[in-house]
Structure 1
Amino acid sequence: MRPHPAPVPRAAVARAAVALATPLAVGLATDRTDYGALVSMGALFAILGDTADAYRMRIFNIALPQLFGAVGVTIGTLVHGQGQGQGGWLAVGVLTLVALVSGMISSIGAVASVSGLLLLINAVVGAGLRLPEPWWVAPLLLSLGGLFVLVLSLLAWPLRGRGPERAAVARTYRALADLLEAAGRTPAADGTHDTYDADDTYDTKRQAVTDALNHAYDLVLARRAREHGRSAGLVRLLAQLNVVIPLVEATPAVHLTAGGRPLPTAVPAAVRELADAVATGRTGGPPPELPAPGTPAERAVDTALRHAASVVHETTGTTGTAGTAETTTLANTTTATATATTSATSAATSATSNTTDRLGRPAALRVRARRAARDVLLSAASWRYGLRLALCIGLAQALVSLVTVPRSYWVALTVTFILKPDYGSVFSRAVLRALGTVAGLVVAAAVLSATPRGWWDVGVMLVLAGIVPAVSAKGYAFQTAAITPVILLISDTLNHEGFDLVLPRFTDSMIGCGIALVAGYLLWPESWHTRVGTRLATAVDDTAEYVRSAFAPGADQPERVRQRRRIYRELSVVRTEFQRALTEPPPTGTRAMAWWPLVVAVERVVDATTAARVRVDHGARPPSPAEVAGVERQLRELAEAVRSSRTAVRARARVRPDPYPYAEAGSVPAAETEAETRTEADERSPLAPLRHEVAAARAIVSTTWL
């Protein structure tokens, strides 16, 4: 229930107020309040799906769900009146099938999930609510509301242009400045390095950099994929983002070797100056004034920062600088990759992206459709999502067909909002939905009892609609509390029942919460285990491969950058799954908590690997192949232990302290003499911090989870 800290999106607040209140005003003026209410309802659903920053992505995020919503309300209208009594099982069967499709297409990505949600919501509304005749009027009005929101959201496009993409890149620079400021400071209050506190300053700011990079690459590369010709401004923006990578790589080297001595304040200040230059599009600035570096890690930061400044401030030839081997990088989205080419004269930067947050990849439409259909039909996750949602919707519709329930479609709507499996924990969403509904009904009761029907509804809607985007980011309960009075005000405009809507809404919502909790959570086998361990094992395996390739002869730096970015993407997914699992009741939440120390430990292993590679690049002695192979073997053993254990507790017996940490696989007995003759020089090896982090991760598995 604690609200998440989030700024108020003023533009979204104004957009929601205008988009929902204007149709009501037009409906009153033309004496077609039912038409105005349906347009407002369509606008509300579009407001909930308007989460993109880039203008081009807003078109996709809003327009595609409206198409699915129109199909849904058409299907619902055709079976209207078949929800209760004789012939009621037709509506049950049709809506259950729609729920199956809705759940399955949700596995494609975020936009497809919103599309599936709107498909099912509108089908339920059409089946349970008498809508204006003929059948095509309701789909048209609901779509008109969504298109109205789309038009409002694009009004600033001619003025701002690439503003969202530029702002995302600038936020990446600012997040990096915060990370550089935290680098070198001891993470624990007692000066030790063995804490795995999630609130640790450096770890928290490193995660913020990862999130900022992910978001910036998603925006920039998504736009780049749509512009097949040369776009100097976009190429420049991509170059400014690419040169962040060497700085990101150099930061862990500073953190692990600084010995409690932070970087000079001029370094993060210079990065913040670059952030301001990126945000405003300013070029031609002077080079940063930086103190002389004293260590290999500081030299790496100095070199990367000066290079970034030259790219940000350069007025021409940007891509020629940004495309060097040092700064070429690939942005990944789960299984996605996007390539920034190394030539300024290349007319089209190669960008391939297997995105999971949008319906398609930057390929031909038929290719994207074929891949999406294959993912839906062959993915076990899509079938699990679809069957779970279909089961609960079928039960909800069967119940209201057998038992007279006023405003019965609200039962299925409640189940739909709660049980979208890709939206988070079903248990927590059911509880928060119930609490938010109660709070929203208190507001709705006051509004419906005190506000005269008519033009007063327009003024009230202006206020209530603006609250929805203002509080949505603070948590699901807050969003539910804000939406409830808006929905009831629209329903009152359609049905003129006033305060009498409050009690049925409460009853139906509680029934829907109960169905979701019992059938969608308590009786669903998947609810009682998390996927944290499986995904974490994959990340550990990839980390082992990253260690091997980072120090392989003739190591390919772009490939190493790709691997590191992919691992951080995977760990971001693990963090998301971990946060979801923590909201589950015992034993699921307790089991999830046990994985957290290892999640942080793996992130530090990746940091230590990058830091070691940076030190070698700036003059440190390269590690021996046997030393690299030993670290790789330890990580693969750790991954296998995690993968073969359903819980963290069971993993402890599968990992033991390694008596031969420097041995290659298959040569452990021969390594005994070598291990015994290691000297103090090994502690000066660039892999020494990495070995310590790997040992700490193995110790977590072998001793902590007793």
Structure 2
Amino acid sequence: MSTEHRERSDRAHRIPSGLRARTPAPPAWLLSGLRPEAAPIPWAAVARAAVALSAPLAVGFALDEPEYGALVSMGALSGVIGDTADAYRMRILNIAVPQFFGAVGVTLGTLVFGHGWVAVGALTLIALVSGMISSIGTVASVSGLLLLLNAVVGAGLPLPRPWWAAPLLLAAGGLFVLALTLLGWPLRGRQPERAAVAATYRALADALEAAGGPGYDERRRRLTQTLNQAYDLVLGRRARVHGRSPALVRMLAQLNVVIPLVEAAPAAHLRGRPLPPAYPAAVRELARAVEEGRTGTPALDLPEPATRAERALDAALRHAAPVVHHAEPLPHRIDDKLGRPAALTVRARRAVRDMALSPASWRYGLRLALCIGIAQSLVSLVPVERSYWVALTVTFVLKPDFGSVFSRAVLRAVGTAGGLVVAAAVLAEVPRGWWDVPVMAVLAALIPAFSAKGYAFQTAAITPVILLLSDLLNHQGFDLIRPRLVDSLIGCAIALVAGYLLWPESWRSRIGDRLADAVDDAARYVERAFGPRPATEAGLRAARTARLQARRRIYRDLSGVRSEFQRALTEPPPAGTRAAAWWPLVVAVERVVDATTAARVRVNHGAPPPGPDEVEAISADLRTLAAGVRTARTPDRLEPPPERSWDEESVLAPVRHEVAAAHGFASPERA
């Protein structure tokens, strides 16, 4: 057993070290950003975008009011960009709520149009508010973006009067996109949620197929992402219709019973050899049953389990199969594993409170306000025609949840240049009038198709659309091309200097603290997984729920840390090189959590539980590691844990080896 554990620890060392060797150096960010991602074309979104942006232009020309049609199409453009959710209820929020903030923004912008320094002050204040509310969540982020974008447009373009015309027309465009989006709701209202639950089972089957091999870690991360997405979709609907929709309750029960299978996967992987193919095949059959809504008596053809991990999988599959195939929801299985969501008003109050008290929220708001203030002051002092594009560029580049500011600034410049080539051909060769309608349909269809390929491609697709709409509002024609390129470069330069170089956030405040929090959460998870056994059945259920909540919270946090690391890797030194140095520790913490889950499964299926001293020692080593991550600037500054001698036959032996490996990754010269 001890030899097996040492070999497993050696493999743990080698895998992250390979990841360290393959970690992209900062200069590779440009090639990565310009390489199209392998994503399928969303044909439904392509068709919606073509209709949503071209139909208002046709109506505008028919009524001899092309400016009105252009404004409706501009509102539709924001709706197309914001339509990123899967579930229909979330799509309503993602489109409708930002349209309200966009209407407020264009109203404020219109009121200060032509007022010089008053406009500068107003847009700077709006930028502060926009930046702060962007930290609340996805819908708030899009709302903050649209608030500022429309305020900039209103303050920079002569829009139709009276003051309420522009917000009304822009909102009409966004609501037109929403109406097109909801056309499929009667036919496939629950399809996104059902597909997400089925995708969780398929991702689990992929992870089980890779168990014991080198591809497991990546598939386990994909499983975590699909599980989180499925819970978000199903619970988003449950907050409104829980208890009144049998189909929704059944989907929640199907999602809940996948949790024991997810817990058994790490135990299967740590055996070090592949599982019998019958196990992943059975999970794939459950995925098909979920997707097709099948009912009846399930038939499981599973081999006789030979190990504790296989016994855990066998028990979990036999528990899940009846629930998946059951036509009526089982009342005792409908509660999710994270607790009932708080009421919408309660969550809104918490979000506003957290935003107002968050240093990160104020920091981003002030950074965005500074850049917008500089951009507006510059164009007020220097006669730059139709210079609202400078502030628009700054706003898009400085979105913190869209990626690295450094890479986005350069990729936006590249994408804008590519889009201007297309716009130049359109403005030079296509006569203004009815020909704009089919041209707009083609250009609009490219937006969702190119957005799936990467940020530079999205920028290249959006640029000619905005320029064509701008030409319908100010009639500059081909003369728009050169000023827009200059304005984009000025905006990117402002974002790089005032929004990036002047804000040298330390690694500790941006990534290190989040990584340290994840390590602390891993310590708490070990304590919860192997704490004192409750004396009552209710206590056992509560302890298991707390353990599940802790595990999912860790994986969510690590997913966010991983995303932040990926952004930092695309930045120049020192941020990029520092992120590369710490990157293997993220993988190490994930492996510690996996090993802890596997140990808990083994105890559930007959292994002797560990002693409290061993649990306390592992937790202490993890907390020491977390404290070191918070204070050390580089991994080699971390202090190693004290030497301890434990029983290699203990169920926690793999966890101890993973914790030692984590310290080894952080302190390579001591490993």
The normalised TM-score by structure 1 is 0.87
Change (3 A) 1:317 1:501: closer
Q: Structure 1: which 5+ residue stretches go unaligned?
A: 83-87, 188-200, 331-337, 340-350, 353-361, 661-674
The answer to whether residue 670 in structure 2 is matched with residue 694 in structure 1 is: no
| SS across alignment from 1:531 | helix
2:130 paired residue number = 102
**Contact kept? 1:329, 1:558, Cα under 8 Å:** no
In structure 1, the residue matched to 2:413 is 434
Residue 309 of structure 1 aligns to a residue whose secondary structure is helix
Aligned residue in 1 for 2:640: 656
Tell me which moved more, 296-305 or 309-318.
309-318
Task: Identify the range of structure 1 (272-281 vs 120-129) with the bigger mean alpha-carbon deviation.
Answer: 272-281
Find 2:628's aligned residue among 630, 641, 645: 641
Q: How far is 1:376 from its partner? A: 2.5
> Deviation at 1:315?
2.0
**8 Å Cα contact 2:508-2:631 kept in structure 1:** no
Partner in structure 2 of residue 347 of structure 1: none
Match of 2:226 in 1: 212
Please, which of 304, 312, 328 is the counterpart of residue 316 of structure 1?
328
> Separation in 1 of the partners of 2:160 and 2:620?
68
Kindly indicate whether residue 313 of structure 2 is the aligned counterpart of residue 301 of structure 1. Answer: yes
Matched, 1:281 2:293: yes
Instruction: Select 1:175's aligned residue among 187, 203, 209.
Output: 203
Task: Tell me whether 1:264 sits opposite 2:264 in the alignment.
Answer: no
Which of 34, 44, 57 aligns to 1:24? It is: 57
Q: Tell me the secondary structure at the aligned position of residue 526 of structure 1.
A: coil
**Structure 1 residue 3 displacement after superposition:** 2.0
Correspondence for 2:91? 58
Structure 2 matches for 1:456-495, cutoff 5 A? 456-495=435-474
After TM superposition, the structure 1 stretch with the greater mean CA deviation from structure 2, 628-637 or 387-396, is 628-637
Q: CA deviation at 1:375?
A: 2.1
Q: Is residue 2:574 matched to residue 1:587?
A: yes
Per-residue CA deviation, residues 233-287 of structure 1 (Å, 9 max, x unaligned), is 1111000001111001001101112x3x211112111111111111121111532
Whether 1:517 and 2:496 are equivalent positions in the alignment is yes
User: What residue identity is the alignment partner of 2:403?
Assistant: G
Provide the C-alpha distance between the structure 2 equivalents of 1:535 and 1:527, rounded to a whole number of angstroms.
12
1:329 & 1:528 partners in 2: Cα distance? Answer: 36
SS at match of 2:100: helix
- Matched residue count: 630
1:241 aligns with 2:206: no
Report the 3-state secondary structure (helix = DSSP H, G, I; strand = E; otherwise coil) of the residue aligned with 2:384. Answer: coil
Give the corresponding residue for 2:343.
363
TM-superposed CA distance for 1:654, in Å, is 3.2
- Structure-2 separation of matches of 1:178 and 1:364: 36
Give per-residue Cα distances to partners, 1:473-525, cap 9 Å, x unaligned.
Answer: 22111110000011111112222222111111101111111111111111123
**Is the partner of 1:659 in helix, strand or coil?**
coil
SS state at 2:70 partner: helix
CA contact (8 A) 1:521 1:527 kept: no
Report what 1:9 is aligned to. Answer: 42
Structure-2 separation of matches of 1:526 and 1:316: 53
Match of 2:81 in 1: 48
- Contact 2:253–2:329 (Cα < 8 Å) also in 1: no
- How far residue 594 of structure 1 moved from its aligned partner, in angstroms, is 1.1
Question: Secondary structure at 1:230's aligned position in 2?
Answer: coil
**Structure 1 residues 694, 364: closer, same or farther in 2, change over 3 A?**
closer
Shift in Å at residue 701 of structure 1? Answer: 1.6
The answer for the alignment partner of 1:334 in structure 2 is none
- Per-residue CA shift, 1:448-493, capped at 9, x if unaligned? 1121222211111111101101111221111100000111111122
- Equivalent residue for 2:9? none
How far did 1:329 drift?
Answer: 5.2
Following superposition, the deviation at residue 230 of structure 1 comes to 2.8
Question: Which secondary structure state, in structure 1, belongs to the residue aligned with residue 72 of structure 2?
Answer: helix
Deviation at 1:382, TM superposition (A): 1.3
Does the alignment pair 1:393 with 2:390? no
Deviates more, 1:226-235 or 1:440-449: 226-235
- 1:620-641 CA distance string (max 9 Å, x none): 1111222222211111111111
CA contact (8 A) 1:532 1:595 kept: no
What amino acid is aligned across from residue 202 of structure 1 in structure 2? Y
Paired position in structure 2 for 1:348: none
Select the residue among 99, 103, 106 that pairs with 1:70. 103
| Structure 2 match to 1:93 | 121
Q: Secondary structure at the match of 1:692?
A: helix
Partner Cα separation in structure 2 for residue 368 and residue 658 of structure 1? 44
* Aligned residue number for residue 589 of structure 2: 602
In 1, the alpha carbon distance for the partners of 2:399 and 2:654 equals: 43
Please give the alpha-carbon distance, in whole angstroms, between the structure 2 residues aligned to 1:116 and 1:653: 40
The aligned counterpart of 1:356 is: none
Question: CA–CA distance in 2 between the matches of 1:370 and 1:561?
Answer: 27
Between the aligned partners of 2:506 and 2:119, the Cα distance in structure 1 is: 28
Could you tell me which amino acid in structure 2 is paired with residue 489 of structure 1? L
Q: Provide the secondary structure at the position in 2 that maps to 1:155.
A: helix
**Greater share of residues in helix:** 2
SS in 1 for 2:35: coil
> 2-side partners of 1:179 and 1:81: how far apart?
60
User: 1:364 & 1:268 partners in 2: Cα distance?
Assistant: 39
Aligned with residue 574 of structure 1, among 537, 561, 574 = 561
Amino acid at match of 2:125: L
Amino acid in the other structure paired with 2:643: P
Q: What letter matches 1:569 in structure 2? A: R
2:648 corresponding residue in structure 1: 683
DSSP 3-state at the match of 1:238: helix
Contact 2:250/2:328 (<8 A) preserved:
no
- State the distance in 1 between where 2:48 and 2:357 align: 40
Q: CA deviation at 1:4?
A: 2.1
Q: Using a 3 Å threshold, how does the CA distance of structure 1 residues 33 and 115 change in structure 2: closer, same or farther?
A: same
Q: Output the CA distance in 2 between the equivalents of 1:528 and 1:691.
A: 28
Residue 529 of structure 1, CA deviation: 6.5
AA of the residue aligned to 1:387: L
SS in 2 for 1:286: coil
Gap change, CA 1:600 and 1:364, over 3 Å in 2: closer
SS at match of 1:154: helix
Q: CA deviation at 1:584?
A: 0.9
Structure 2 unmatched ranges of 5 or more: 1-33, 535-542
Question: What CA distance in whole angstroms lies between the structure 2 residues aligned with 1:272 and 1:565?
Answer: 23
* 2-structure distance, mates of 1:306, 1:375: 43
Query: Aligned partners of 1:218, 1:490: CA distance in 2, in Å?
Result: 36
The percentage of counterpart residues that share the same residue type is 71
Say which SS state the counterpart of residue 372 (structure 2) adopts.
Answer: helix
Q: Which residue identity lines up with residue 221 of structure 2 in the other structure?
A: Q
Give the alignment partner of residue 147 of structure 1, picking from 160, 163, 175: 175
398 and 60 in structure 1: CA distance in 2 versus 1, 3 angstrom threshold = same
Per-residue CA deviations over 1:81-124 (Å, capped at 9, x if unaligned) read 12xxxxx1111111111111111111111111111111111111
- Report how far residue 406 of structure 1 moved: 1.4
Q: Which amino acid aligns with 1:559?
A: A
Aligned residue in 2 for 1:536: 515
Which of 607, 611, 631 is the equivalent residue of 2:598? 611
Correspondence for 2:142: 114
Deviation at 1:553, TM superposition (A): 1.9
C-alpha distance in 1, partners of 2:576/2:196? 34
> What is the CA-CA distance between 1:705 and the residue it aligns to?
9.0
Query: Please, what TM-score do these two structures have when normalized by structure 2?
Result: 0.92
> Hey, what's the Cα distance between the residues in 1 that align with 2:514 and 2:506?
17
Aligned equivalent of 2:391: 412
Pick closer, same or farther for the CA change 1:226–1:426 going to 2, 3 Å: same
